[in-house]
Every structure is written in C-alpha cells, then in structure tokens.
Structure 1
Amino acid sequence: MEIVDTFSKSTLNGDTEYKYEYRITKSNIILYDYGVNSDVQSYGIEIERMDIVNGKTVNLERDGVYNISPQRYKVQELVKLLYNNDVSPINAIEIIGDYVDEYIVDFDDALKSISIG
C-alpha cells in the first residue's frame, strides 16, 4: 500500500487538540474473471485522529477502507467530504458506506476495459 495524498487539519476543543489526517491510499488487487487473473490499481482511504493534551498524545484512532475504487477522483471526493466535515475514524464508514457499496461496480468496469484493451 502506498499513500498518494494526505489532507491534514487540527481543531481545538477546550484543552484538547484534535489532529486529523485523511490519506488516499493506492494498492493493486488481483481480480479473477473467466479464468484470468487481472491486476487492477485500487484507491482507498485511511483516517487518523490524534488527541493531544498539553503536547502529549493521549489517544489515537485510526481506520481505513481500502480498495474502494480504481478511479482516484471518486476516492478524492470522499476524502474531501470527510475532511470538510471533520469526520473521525470512528464514524467514517457510516458516512461513506453507501458510496463504497456503489463504487464496487467500478472494478467490473476496469475488468471490462482490460479484456477489451
């Protein structure tokens, strides 16, 4: 897995600073179709939140959804949605779950283009 882009931000709530990192990841997956293995590039999201009090990390949350789509721009739009709404790793799947389910079809389209190409 490779990190291809990172969006970072911090918010302050009382004595606690929340540092968020939203990462776009890239990896390859092998899809099996009609007796043929095809290597397909895939993008995903990793989210991290650090809770910092008095300069010391007191909590770390991290979660990710990998292999969302072979289309980077779709994953980038999801990251922007999470970033703009300060979504924590704990709630991310609730926010993007329907999109992830919808984008799975992109892998079928990628396989079709490989077999045609």
Structure 2
Amino acid sequence: MYYKKVAEYVSTTEEVRGTVTTRYSIVMSEISIFNGKEEVKLPSYGIEIVQQVFDDEKDVVEKWEERVVNISPYFEKVDKLAELFKEMSLSPIHLYEVIDDMCEHYISDYDKLVKLCKIAI
C-alpha cells in the first residue's frame, strides 16, 4: 500500500538505555469505497509511530514501528489523535490496543463522507 507522511510530532527523552526518540506521523493514502454501484475514492489518514533508542555515539540500538493507515478520511481528527498519542507517550507496541478501542468512533466517517460525495455528484 502506498502512503505518504503529511505531518509529524516528535518526542525525545533521556533514559538509562539511551536517548529515545518517538515520531508520531500522520500518513495519507487513498481508499476506494462502493456506494451502491458507484466507486468513490476518498483520502484516508492514519498514524505511524516509530520509536528509536540511540546510544552515546548516536547509533540506533533498538527500533520499533507500527502503523494503522485507515483511521479516518478527516485529517483534523487523525491529527488530534497523533497529538494525544504524543502527550500519552504511546509506544508503537500499544498502538493497535488503543486504536482498537477507538475504532468505532472513526470508521463511520468513511460512510458519512461517501454519502456526502454521492449527494455532491
């Protein structure tokens, strides 16, 4: 699947094991949804979290990453989520757990937007 990063929040902390940098990126792709017989292409935003641990020589010692690419067709909603995840210091390991609990609040956005697109056509 093709996606591109459209925004990013970065958090850096110093820990015993080294400097931990966590990037909360908003990624954009496109999704096709059928509304009856009609195919509608919508933008789709998601979140990618990449966490790296650097040693004193600035070499990457550990790296974790995870992404969920289809959260909502609305950038603003996903942007708020990325900010919230940064404030929570959410690790990539826990991304799916948290998103799974929130999924119902966002997935219906696609259906609402498809209906608006059909009315506009």
Shorter chain as normaliser: what TM range? over 0.9
Q: Report if aligned partners of 2:54, 2:60 keep a CA contact under 8 Å in 1.
A: yes
For 2:24, the equivalent position in structure 1 comes to 22
User: CA separation in 2, counterparts of 1:68 and 1:96?
Assistant: 8
Q: Are 2:99 and 1:101 aligned?
A: no
- What are the superposed Cα offsets for residues 34-86 of structure 1, whole Å, 9 maximum, x if unpaired? 11111011110000000112222111101001110011111111101110111
- Runs of 4+ deviating beyond 6 Å: none
Q: Are 2:89 and 1:86 aligned?
A: yes
For 2:40, the equivalent position in structure 1 comes to 38
Which runs of no fewer than 5 residues in structure 1 stay unpaired? none
For 2:115, the equivalent position in structure 1 comes to 112
Q: Report if aligned partners of 1:10, 1:18 keep a CA contact under 8 Å in 2.
A: yes
User: CA separation in 2, counterparts of 1:81 and 1:73?
Assistant: 12
Q: Report if aligned partners of 2:13, 2:19 keep a CA contact under 8 Å in 1.
A: yes
RMSD: 1.1
What's the % identity of the aligned pairs? 29
Letter in 1 for 2:43: Q
1:48 to 41, 47, 50: 50
1:68 to 53, 58, 71: 71
Q: Report if aligned partners of 2:35, 2:115 keep a CA contact under 8 Å in 1.
A: no
Which runs of no fewer than 5 residues in structure 2 stay unpaired? none
Count of aligned positions: 117
Q: How high is the TM-score relative to the length of structure 2?
A: 0.91
**Deviation of 1:20 (Å):** 0.5
Q: How high is the TM-score relative to the length of structure 1?
A: 0.94
Letter in 2 for 1:79: A
